[in-house]
Amino acid sequence: MEGVDTIFCYPGGATLNITDALYHSDIHQIVVRHEQAAVHAADGYSRASGRVGVSLVTSGPGATNTVTGIATAYMDSIPIVIFSCQVNTMLIGNDAFQEADIVGITRPCTKHNYLVKDVKDLARIIKEAFFIARSGRPGPVLVDIPKDVSAASCDFKYPDKIFLRSYQPTYVGHAGQIKRLLKTIAVSKRPVLYTGGGIISSGASQELLKFAEKLSIPVTNTLMGLGGFPGNHPLFLGMLGMHGNYAANMAITESDLIIAIGSRFDDRATGKVDEFAPRAKIVHIDIDPTSISKNIKVDIPVVGDSKNVLKKMLEMLDDNKEDFENFQQNITDWVQTVNHWKNNYPLTYTKNGTLKPQYVIERIYELTKGNAIISTEVGQNQMWAAQFFKFLKPRTILTSGGLGTMGYGFPASIGAQVAFPKSLVIDIAGDGSIQMNIQELATAVQYNLPVKIVILNNRFLGMVRQWQELFYEKRYTWTHMNHAPDFVKLAEAYGAAGYRITEEKDVDDVLHEAFNNNKTTIVDVHVNPEECVYPMVPAGAPLKDMLLV
């Protein structure tokens, strides 16, 4: 069947039949403290492991509480299946107690959803739900089960095969298009690989590495693409976009050929669309035809699975060596230029004796040697994590890229820790975001999940404050968070460990202890309050117009 080993769940009246059936089940059942967290945890489980994450919640408020989690997974194409329970079929539409039209509510933020009206359809629908969630461009699928349906019984037969005439994703890229694409690469002089989350979801990082190395083409990643190419590789330019590396944004601007793979030209990545890669042809490989030519006009589209297409490209490369005879020579100048940008404009920050958030991330990277699963909240913490931690392997960064959901990181780290009990899982948080799902400390402690929350505590909703500093003359309306709890005491109140760092000299020792104590842990790091994330491309400006430190 689907091999589900874990569900993230929360009970209610409408779940009772199912909850009761799970009384003796071997399925690991993690009961959260808020349904939003159940979905983020299932999402984190899925991002870290590549398997489909599952959550189960009750009707009405239980179901509506999942919406942010579902929308988060939808925007980032994460395969999860959400079971929501529903009032009795007969009562649907009657404003019954704890009724919400969750199928209607989640229609625009699920890949697909179902209301099960007859128990005889349940097995087939579950099979379809998992298939749809993980195939093609993955995404969340919701299955709404009325209470009378979960009470009914029928002969159980799980279908071996299902067939959906209306859903047949294209995995294999058009050979002619791939050929054209390679011919275009062969004559390019300033090529860049621009890769996104599609590399992660299709498991194409090995193929990407081979391809980039074979031709020595520099690589930039979107936020969702991080980990898809080794962050410490000489060909790696770092992340592009609003807070992208100088070299990455300049490479895009000066390039004559953008090879986009599994990325969707999000506005945070492209900057001003009309001036994105003004001198470049654009080739785009993506499994989702709707992503192609949506924001940026594409010259050579290839609809297909990233891994599949990259494999084919590697094969064809071997068969067409003569096309690439002069390629290395042709791109020498370009490689030099790109390296010049990399060396002369690296990511940096002013070191002035105060405790800098960037420094904390650098130390986390050094102390873990990159060997950790990092989740992030949203805001400056997220961008610093993306910039200063070098993600070496796929599925090591869990971050809400598309929706930008504060409160995502901590429950996601719980999900990842459940999937990998032995790994070091760290949530890089802000003092604002962490308060959005702080109640999950109880869950983490209850299930002995030694997740580490490192709060880059700047007493501000830092990212919004940064915009106010730069574009609203420092009028810090709403963003000053001077009424935060004492996070160390708060951790202790939940039965977790709490540490505080206020000076740079303590960073290594405290982090070392925190990472090795085997407990759910908060490290409250009091960082420089008015630090900004740089480089920054102001909203609506072209990528080359970066504000630097």
Partner 1 sequence: MRHIISVLVENEFGVLSRIAGLFSGRGFNIESLCVAEGIDPTISTMTIVTTGNEAILEQILKQLNKLINVIKVTDFKEMDYVSREMILVKLHTDEKTRAEILRMAEIFRGKIIDVSPKTYTLLVTGDEEKLKAFLALVKPIGIKELVRTGPIAIARGEKTIKPKEIQNKGGEADG
Q: Which does 476 bind (CB under 5 to 8 A by kind): ligand TPP, partner 1, none?
A: none
Question: Binding of ligand TPP at residue 404 (CB under 6 A)?
Answer: yes
Give the residue closest to ligand TPP by C-beta: 430
Among positions 69, 138, 238, 462, the unique one binding ligand TPP when judged by CB under 6 A:
462
Q: Which of partner 1, ligand TPP, none is residue 335 near (CB under 5 to 8 Å by kind)? A: none
Q: What whole-number distance in Å separates Cα of residue 459 and Cα of residue 412?
A: 23
Between the two ends of the chain, the Cα-to-Cα distance in Å is 53
Please, what is the minimum distance in Å from the beta carbon of residue 69 to partner 1?
20
- 256: alpha, beta or left? (left if phi > 0; alpha if psi -120 to 50): alpha
- Per-residue HEC secondary structure of 268-305 comes to HHHECHHHCCCCCEEEEEECCHHHCCCCCCCCEEEECC
379 binds ligand TPP (CB under 6 A): yes
Name which of 114 and 246 has its Cβ closer to partner 1: 114
Least distance from partner 1 to the Cβ atom of residue 534, Å: 34
Do 7 and 28 contact (CB within 8 A), yes or no? Answer: yes
Q: Which two tokens stand for residue 489?
A: 């005491």
Find the part of the chain contacting ligand TPP (CB under 6 A) among 96-104, 148-156, 404-412, 491-499: 404-412
Cβ-based nearer residue to partner 1, 168 or 206: 168
Instruction: List residues with catalytic annotation.
Output: 35, 97-98, 147, 463
Shortest spacing between CB 311 and partner 1, in angstroms: 18
CA distances to 72, 419, 432, 450 from 407, in Å: 11, 20, 9, 18
**Nearest Cα to Cα of residue 259 among 180, 146, 159:** 180
CA distances from residue 462 to 168, 241, 483 in whole angstroms, order as listed: 44, 19, 15
Q: How far is the CB of 168 from partner 1 (least distance, A)?
A: 4
Compare residues 160 and 322 and give the one whose CB is closer to partner 1.
Answer: 160
Give CA separation, 9 vs 129, 362, 453, in Å. Answer: 18, 35, 22
Give the number of C-alpha atoms closer than 13 A to the C-alpha of residue 385, restricted to the C-beta side. Answer: 31
Q: Which is nearer to ligand TPP, 143 or 523 (CB)?
A: 523
Write down the least CB distance from residue 161 to partner 1, Å.
6
Q: Which of residues 425-444 bind ligand TPP (CB under 6 A)?
A: 430-433
Which whole-number Å values give the CA distances from 390 to 206, 215, 252, 414, 518, in the listed order? 17, 23, 21, 22, 24
Cα 547 to Cα 271: distance, rounded to the nearest angstrom: 13
Residues in the interface with ligand TPP (CB under 6 A) total: 19
Backbone angles phi, psi at 532, to 5 degrees: -115, 155
What span, in angstroms and rounded, lies between the C-alpha atoms of 383 and 389?
10
Is 458 one of the binding residues for ligand TPP (CB under 6 A)? yes
CA distance linking residue 206 with residue 225, whole number of Å: 13
Out of partner 1, ligand TPP, none, what residue 4 binds, judged by CB under 5 to 8 A for its kind, is none
Query: Which residue's CB is nearer to partner 1, number 107 or number 480?
Result: 107
Contact code string over 137-156 relative to ligand TPP, x by CB under 6 A = --------------------
Q: Which is nearer to partner 1, 161 or 483 (CB)?
A: 161
Q: Which does 458 bind (CB under 5 to 8 A by kind): partner 1, ligand TPP, none?
A: ligand TPP
Smallest gap, in angstroms, from Cβ of residue 144 to partner 1?
Answer: 11
Question: Binding of ligand TPP at residue 375 (CB under 6 A)?
Answer: no
- Backbone φ and ψ of 256, nearest 5°: -105, -5
User: What is the b/e burial string over 423-461, where b = at least 16 CB atoms within 10 angstroms of the residue's CB?
Assistant: ebbbbbbbbbbbbbbbebbbbbbbbebbbbbbbbbbbbb
Interaction site with partner 1 (CB under 8 A): 103-104, 107-108, 111-112, 115, 127-128, 130-132, 135, 160-171, 288-290, 293-294
463 binds, among partner 1, ligand TPP, none (CB under 5 to 8 A by kind): ligand TPP
379: partner contacted, choices partner 1, ligand TPP, none (Cβ within 5-8 A by kind): ligand TPP
| Cβ–Cβ < 8 Å for 43, 375 | no
Pick between residue 145 and residue 257 the one whose CB is nearest to partner 1: 145
Shortest distance in whole angstroms from residue 406 CB to partner 1: 24
Residue 411 found at the interface with ligand TPP (CB under 6 A)? no
Instruction: Judge whether 399 and 409 are in contact, CB under 8 Å.
Output: yes
- Residue numbers of the site for ligand TPP (CB under 6 A)? 377-381, 404-406, 430-433, 456, 458, 460-464
